[in-house]
Every structure is written in structure tokens, then in C-alpha cells.
Structure 1
């Protein structure tokens, strides 16, 4: 089963955007995500609707982060993406006639709800500012510089 990596990809480009002094084009962000600019525009439109990013058209235009990184959690971004499915596992059948399978479903349903609630809580605890700080620690340890256009050139 293919994993849904939209959250990871969007967080990736948001941190790239945070490192820029001005707007970043959909083309540059698409290279960073390894996708098409149309996909970037579609995903970023949802974030724009929630007030996390803004866009400017024309020469010198592109995407910028609209709020302080400390105000945006991973949960916020997850919600803005439309709350993609968190767990790939599920019950074999949703309305089984077998009592054994009903018992299995009840146990799994509880476990899945608990796991999802914990994951959502953890996503709510992490801000983009925390991710940015981690990136800067890693960059300093590498003793290098970083430029989106160079580090993601294909």
C-alpha cells in the first residue's frame, strides 16, 4: 500500500519557504517536493484558505508563510490538508455476523481510536518553529550553507 506523504512534503516545503527572504515560486517548491507545480499550487491553496500561506502573482511573486512559525502546528497543517487517513490498518469487515469477528473489531476499533488520538495530540505539540530549530541545529552540525534551488536541483 502506498503511503500518503502529503503532510511530510508540505512540511518540507514550508520549512524551505521559511528560509527564504521573499516569495518562493511553485516551480522551486515542486522541485523540493519532487512533484509538479500544479500539485504544489493545489496543496498550497488549501493552506492559503486556512491563512497559513499567501501567494502573490506576477514577476517576483510566489508563496510566503503568512503566520509566525510558532503559531502553526503539524496538526494545523494536517487539518488543512483535509485530514488524510492516519492508519492504513482496518477491520476485515465493518459489520460482521460472526461473534468472534465482532470481538476482534471492537478491540481493534478501540486501539485504532487510541492510536489516532495520540498521534493527533503529538502533531498538535510540534510547531513549525520547532522543526525550523531542528533544521538549524542539523545545518550547523553539517557546517554548511543551504539553498533550496541548489540542494534540490535534479
Structure 2
């Protein structure tokens, strides 16, 4: 089963945007993300509705962060992109009348709910400002600039 990497990709885009003083176009962001500009526009359209980004059309336009990074958590972004499934595993439902299957599924349901709650709590505790600080520390450790990172 293919893993859903939308949250990772959106966080990536937001952090690149936060590094720039001027708006970034969908083309610029697509190049940094190694994807198509349409993908970027689709992602950022949903984030605009959530109030995380802003866009301006025309010459000098593009996408900018609309809120302070310290006010946006990974959970906020997760919810803004539609709460994709966190777990790839699920219950077997081939024999719903089987008492063994019912017992197994009950135990799994409890475990899945607990794991999801723990993960969402962790997401809520991590701001984009913290991710940006980690990124800056990694760049500093390698003596790199943002432009070297993008074009390197």
C-alpha cells in the first residue's frame, strides 16, 4: 500500500514559503518540491481557505504565509488537508459473525484509536516555527544558505 505523504509535502511547501520575504509562485514552489505547479496550487488552495496562506495575482504576485508560524501546528495543517488516514492497517471484516474476528477487531479498534489520539496530540504540540528552527539548525550545521539548499 502506498503511503500518503500529503502532510509531509504540505509542511515542506510551507517551510520553503516561510523562508522567503517575497511571494513565491506556484512554479517556484513546484521546482523546490520537484512536482507540477498544478499540484502546488491544489494544495495551497485548501490552505488558503484555512487562512494559512495568501495569494496575489499578477506581476510580483504569488503565495505567502498568512499567519505567524508559531500559531500553526502540524495538527492544524493535517486538519486543513482533510485529515488523511493515519494508519494503513485495518480490521478484517470477512466474517462479521465470527466471535474471534469480533474480539480481534475490538482490540485493534481500541489500539488504533489510542495510537491516533497520541499521534494527533503530538502533531498539536509541534508548531511550524519549531520545524523552521530545526531546519535552520540543520542548515547551520552544514554551513548552507536557503538558496544553496534549494539549488543544491
Structure 2 unaligned spans of 5+: none
**What's the offset of the Cα at 1:95?**
6.9
Counterpart check, 1:56 vs 2:56: yes
How well do the aligned residues superpose, as a CA RMSD in angstroms? 1.5
TM score, norm. by length of structure 1: 0.94
For the structure 1 residues 28 and 94, does the alpha-carbon distance in structure 2 shift closer, same or farther, using more than 3 Å as the test?
A: farther
Structure 1 unaligned spans of 5+: none
Q: Deviations over 1:99-122 (max 9, x none)?
A: 000000000000000000000000
**What's the offset of the Cα at 1:22?**
0.7
In 2, the alpha carbon distance for the partners of 1:140 and 1:25 equals 26
Runs of 4+ in 1 over 6 A off after TM superposition: none
For the structure 1 residues 133 and 107, does the alpha-carbon distance in structure 2 shift closer, same or farther, using more than 3 Å as the test?
A: same
TM score, norm. by length of structure 2: 0.95
Contact 2:95 2:101 in 1 (8 A): no
For the structure 1 residues 98 and 11, does the alpha-carbon distance in structure 2 shift closer, same or farther, using more than 3 Å as the test?
A: same
Aligned pairs, number = 152
